[in-house]
Amino acid sequence: MADALWLAAGLALLLEGLLPFLAPGLWREVFAQLVRLEDRQIRLVGAVCLGLGLILLWWR
């Protein structure tokens, strides 16, 4: 089980690093827009991501 967690963490870091590596200007713009969002909107995005992640884990 620990191996799967390390694999998942590595994959998450790999995916998170793609946009800043390939398009740093776009990443900066996206991040600037994210900072301007209200807490409620950020929580909604987080909840959607959590839900999609749970569905993907359950579906696998």
Residue 44 domain boundaries: 2-59
Residue 13 has pLDDT above 80, yes or no: yes
- DSSP labels for 31-50? HHHHHTS-HHHHHHHHHHHH
pTM for the full predicted model = 0.66
Residue 16 DSSP SS3: helix
- Return the pLDDT at 26: 95
pLDDT at site 36: 95
How many distinct structural domains can be found in the chain?
1
Tokens of 46: 């987080």
How would residue 38 be classed by pLDDT, with cut points 50, 70 and 90? very high
CA pair distance 56, 50, nearest whole angstrom: 10
Looking at beta carbons, which pairs linking 48-56 to residues 24 or more positions away fall under 8 Å?
A: none
